[in-house]
Amino acid sequence: MTLYSDIALNADSVYLNEAGTLSISSLIELSGLTQLELDGLIDIGVITPIMPSIAAAPYFQLRYIVTTQTARRLIDDFELDLNGMLLAMTLIEQIKLLEQQLGTAPIKRSAPAQLEMDLAC
């Protein structure tokens, strides 16, 4: 697991993967979210800290930069309050999960005659 410092995050580009991590303060800075907004995303499970213990400051996977920036854009673009943003982010995550399930599920094909009967009803 690679821990990226604030200096590395200020570079032109960072490879967003599950191996690299960043601190909660860096995630707040990069996303533009408040501590309360970030805590809300953690509480509903949209983002998950790597080290969720109370004693240590939590760290997050780099891929959550995109998630938190999406949350910030929802707040800014649609003038959502905290609850609206959390609802929208929950729905976005559910859509992603359904898309993954559809991508891996076998396609059920109906016989043409059965399809015509279904449409006639």
Q: What are the boundaries of each domain within the chain?
A: 1-83
pLDDT at 27 over 80: yes
The pLDDT value given to residue 6: 46
> Between β-strands 20-23 and 59-61, what pairing exists: parallel, antiparallel or unpaired?
antiparallel
The pLDDT value given to residue 7: 37
Average model confidence (pLDDT) for the chain? Answer: 82
Q: Band of the pLDDT at 121, cuts 50, 70, 90?
A: low
Q: Which has the higher per-residue pLDDT, 100 or 34?
A: 34
The pLDDT value given to residue 76: 97
8 Å CB contact between 37 and 75: yes
9-13, 80-84, 94-98: range with lowest mean pLDDT: 9-13
Q: Buried b vs exposed e over 47-77: b needs ≥16 C-beta within 10 Å?
A: bebeeeeeeeebbbbbebbebbebbbebbee
* Secondary structure letter of residue 57 according to DSSP: P
Q: Which has the higher per-residue pLDDT, 4 or 44?
A: 44
| CATH number for region 1-83 | 1.10.1660.10
Q: Which has the higher per-residue pLDDT, 1 or 88?
A: 88
For the residues 1-23, what does the mean pLDDT come to?
A: 62
